[in-house]
Amino acid sequence: MKYARYSTVIIGSGIAGLYAALKTEQQVNLADGLLLITKSKLGESNSRYAQGGMVGVMKENKKDSTQAHISDTIKAGAGLSEFNTVKFISENSDAVVKDLLKFGVEFDRDENGQFTYTLEAAHSVNRVLHAGGDATGRAIEQALCEQIKKNSNIDVYEKTIAVELLVSNDTCKGVIVFNEVTEEYETIYSSCIILATGGVGQLYKYTTNPSGATGDGLALAYNAGAVLQDMEFVQFHPTALAIDSGECRFLISEAVRGEGAKLVDADGKEFMHKYHPLKELAPRDVVTRANFNERNVYLNAACINKTLLAKRFPNISEKCAQHGIDISKDFIPVAPAAHYFMGGIKTNLHGETAVKGLFAIGEAASTGLHGGNRLASNSLLECVVCAYSVAQYLKSDELKAPKQIDEEIKSAIDKYSDESVFLVEIEVNKDELRELMWEHVGILRSEKSLLTAKEELERLRRGFPRSAKCLNRGEYEYKNMLETAGLIIDSALLRKESRGAHCRTDYPQTNEECIHSHTSLAPTWEREQFCASIASARNAGEG
Ligand code: FAD
Ligand code: SIN
């Protein structure tokens, strides 16, 4: 076992982690240095694949205002968005966009050098900034990675997975990591650990998320004593390309509908008017259920000007062409896929969790912005505002790694350093888990389907009896997937109503009494006693 000490450790190199690393290095007094850890290569993440864009409530966009953005976000959030969070994130949007420009991010502009804004579902005005046409995530991620590589004050561990947080006295004091190349473990002592580990899409058979989205941060935080909130809220995107190719399904951005594309059935007939007055631009959960209900669904983008289509969506055009689809004239086959996780590790606006010294940002966190249904392109905005905010918060203290290491932590470390433990490979049933989550904990759920999922999950758990040390990265991810799937099922059972993306066929109505009521799971409780801690956040300030 190797050992290291750092003032701050950031886990995850998506946009939240990269930007947090740069802002922390810029602003915080880091006596013992800063470490960024990623289980993949630097920048490989969900962030890289973000297409449509990032909300920018810019002062120079006279058609927009923070009030309008707050109102749209809260309306889409289905009664669960927290007003203070939405306001904070909206009001910081202009500042973070301008800060990203300083780091070399280039958003698309018109011939006069002004930002071009697109429209996405449930936004009342065009406010979505984009880059490289439909490659916003890649543009931001690449610019931030360049800065990280140039910055000698930021150490980076790639191909290194965080496997356990070290906690004693309700305080996080470090993390154990496993390098999949050298197969070595390392204990890193730190009094400030920031989880930026992203979402859970890989728990589902059909997803737009690449292979790393296995819910690791949620499982780590839960086992460390943090509170997880609204875990039943998985957002399914209505228009993933309905062609299987590898680990995930390619996304056909909502911005294509924002530019005028229509959803049609196999006979070419439009159908969204049957579901919502905003038709193709109705809130995402509504469009997803409509597409799920109609089954064989296509996107018709032929009504968009051909030159505009090629300029705005070069990647989508190219990807579809690889499958023999010319998007300027052919229908694009689309279907829903798991896309974004609205629940997560409960945090305040500085990213603090219930465990001292443990922070969470980005998709892994639940700040209360998205509520029951995230508004498109609010996620990248949340990533950068919260990364900015955690760095601001940390700036007040000089951060040092802990000096004294207590017994409780030593015993956790021993589980990994004991080389006499010889592990035999156990079968990892990721596909079975993904199938069961899609079938029973997907777009529509019921008590019956959720209990079936719980039973099946127990069977998979019995087949994978690892309590701590695993053999390789794949096993660690599977362990986290099993843990996170269980938490999603438990939360989905607790919410006996339909709201936003959580649609219960046995409770089809929204229960107005549950407005602003979050589900929360705390690890100190027995799993069976995960009773509804429907924490009433009916506080005027937050509502
Ligand atoms: P991620 O970008 O997912 O990064 C997580 C990082 O953590 C990765 O580097 C991963 O390797 C690392 N990691 C995870 N577990 C561990 C571990 N145990 N140890 C070490 N490292 C670990 N949102 C928008 O706002 N606008 C869009 O246009 C948009 N389009 C999207 C399109 C697609 C196809 C997808 C999949 C998502 C899209 N989203 C969009 C959502 C958005 O991209 C994500 O919510 C956001 O990028 C999440 O960023 P993050 O930094 O929190 O996590
Ligand atoms: C998209 O481009 O449709 C994805 C936008 C988002 O998920 O925010």
Residue 537 has pLDDT above 60, yes or no: no
Q: Read off φ and ψ for residue 379, nearest 5 degrees.
A: -70, -50
Please check whether residue 232 is in contact with residue 327, taking contact to mean a CB–CB distance below 8 angstroms.
Answer: no
Terminal-residue alpha carbon distance, the chain: 48
Closest ligand 2 atom to the C-alpha of 235? 7
Closest ligand 2 atom to the C-alpha of 377? 8
Average pLDDT of the chain to the nearest whole number? 93
Closest ligand 1 atom to the C-alpha of 220? 18
Q: Which amino acid is at 429?
A: N
User: What's the rounded mean pLDDT across residues 69-81?
Assistant: 97
Q: What is the DSSP letter of 164?
A: E
pLDDT band at 95 (very low <50, low <70, confident <90, very high): very high
Give the distance (Å) from ligand 2 centre to CA of residue 118.
12
- In the chain the domains, ranked by start, together with CATH numbers, are 2-197+368-394 (3.50.50.60), 237-337 (3.90.700.10), 416-510 (1.20.58.100)
Cβ within 8 Å of residue 102, ≥6 positions away? none
Q: Are strands 262-264 and 2-5 parallel, antiparallel or unpaired?
A: unpaired
pLDDT band at 467 (very low <50, low <70, confident <90, very high): confident
User: What's the rounded mean pLDDT across residues 128-157?
Assistant: 97
Plot region of 223 (φ>0 → left; ψ -120 to 50 → alpha; else → beta): alpha
Give the ligand at the shortest distance from the Cα of 373. 2
Cβ within 8 Å of residue 440, ≥6 positions away? 449, 450, 452, 453, 456
Please check whether residue 333 is in contact with residue 243, taking contact to mean a CB–CB distance below 8 angstroms.
Answer: yes
Cβ within 8 Å of residue 464, ≥6 positions away? 426, 427, 428, 429, 478, 479, 482
Q: Does the CB atom of residue 52 touch ligand 1 within 6 A? A: yes
**Helix (H) / strand (E) containing 144:** helix 136-150
Residue 531 has pLDDT above 60, yes or no: no
- What confidence score (pLDDT) does residue 523 get? 65
Report the percentage of the chain scoring pLDDT > 70.
Answer: 96
Please check whether residue 38 is in contact with residue 157, taking contact to mean a CB–CB distance below 8 angstroms.
Answer: yes
Minimal CA–CA distance to 215: which of 519, 452, 525, 478? 478
Give the ligand at the shortest distance from the Cα of 216. 1
User: What's the rounded mean pLDDT across residues 135-155?
Assistant: 98
Residue 465 CB burial class (10 angstroms; 0-12, 13-18, ≥19): exposed
Please check whether residue 280 is in contact with residue 292, taking contact to mean a CB–CB distance below 8 angstroms.
Answer: no
3-state SS of 94-124 is: HHHHHHHHHCCCCCCECCCCCECEECCCCCC
- What confidence score (pLDDT) does residue 111 get? 96
Report the percentage of the chain scoring pLDDT > 90.
Answer: 88
- What confidence score (pLDDT) does residue 405 get? 76
pLDDT band at 283 (very low <50, low <70, confident <90, very high): very high
Residue 431 has pLDDT above 50, yes or no: yes
Residue 404 has pLDDT above 90, yes or no: no
Reported as a single tens digit per residue, the pLDDT across 298-331 is: 999 999 999 999 999 999 999 999 999 999 999 9
Give the distance (Å) from ligand 1 centre to CA of residue 379.
9
- What confidence score (pLDDT) does residue 400 get? 78
Distance between CA atoms of residues 471 and 474, nearest Å:
8
User: What's the rounded mean pLDDT across residues 485-497?
Assistant: 97
pLDDT band at 392 (very low <50, low <70, confident <90, very high): very high
**Among 251, 259, 340, 380, which residue has the most ligand 2 atoms within 8 Å of its CB, making it the best to mutate?**
251
pLDDT band at 246 (very low <50, low <70, confident <90, very high): confident
Minimal CA–CA distance to 21: which of 39, 32, 33? 33
Report the SS3 class of residue 154. strand
Cβ within 8 Å of residue 80, ≥6 positions away? 230, 233, 368, 371, 372, 499, 500, 515, 516, 517, 518
- What confidence score (pLDDT) does residue 524 get? 56
- 284 in active site: yes
386 vs 523 pLDDT, higher one: 386
Q: What is the dihedral of CA 455, 457, 463, 468, to 10 degrees?
A: -130
Distance between CA atoms of residues 96 and 140, nearest Å:
12
Which protein residue has the closest C-alpha to ligand 1 atom 32? 50
Q: Does the CB atom of residue 216 touch ligand 1 within 6 A? A: yes
Q: Does the CB atom of residue 288 touch ligand 2 within 6 A? A: no
**Among 46, 256, 313, which residue has the most ligand 1 atoms within 8 Å of its CB, making it the best to mutate?**
46
pLDDT band at 536 (very low <50, low <70, confident <90, very high): very low
Minimal CA–CA distance to 475: which of 435, 425, 541? 425
169 vs 99 pLDDT, higher one: 99
- What confidence score (pLDDT) does residue 138 get? 97
Distance between CA atoms of residues 432 and 289, nearest Å:
24
Reported as a single tens digit per residue, the pLDDT across 25-55 is: 999 999 999 999 999 999 899 999 999 999 9
- What confidence score (pLDDT) does residue 522 get? 79
Residue 265 has pLDDT above 50, yes or no: yes
Distance between CA atoms of residues 500 and 122, nearest Å:
13
User: What's the rounded mean pLDDT across residues 371-382?
Assistant: 97
Q: Does the CB atom of residue 52 touch ligand 2 within 6 A? A: yes
Please check whether residue 306 is in contact with residue 328, taking contact to mean a CB–CB distance below 8 angstroms.
Answer: yes
pLDDT band at 542 (very low <50, low <70, confident <90, very high): very low
- What confidence score (pLDDT) does residue 372 get? 97
Q: Does the CB atom of residue 254 touch ligand 2 within 6 A? A: yes
- What confidence score (pLDDT) does residue 131 get? 97
- What confidence score (pLDDT) does residue 425 get? 87
Give the ligand at the shortest distance from the Cα of 258. 2
pLDDT band at 529 (very low <50, low <70, confident <90, very high): very low
In the Cβ-directed half-sphere of 45, how many Cα atoms lie within 13 Å? 32
Q: Does the CB atom of residue 51 touch ligand 1 within 6 A? A: yes
Residue 530 has pLDDT above 70, yes or no: no
User: What's the rounded mean pLDDT across residues 446-475?
Assistant: 96
Residue 17 has pLDDT above 70, yes or no: yes
Q: What is the dihedral of CA 39, 43, 45, 47, to 10 degrees?
A: 150
443 vs 404 pLDDT, higher one: 443
Report the SS3 class of residue 29. strand
541 vs 432 pLDDT, higher one: 432
Six token digits for residue 273: 């008017």
Six token digits for residue 232: 């039943």
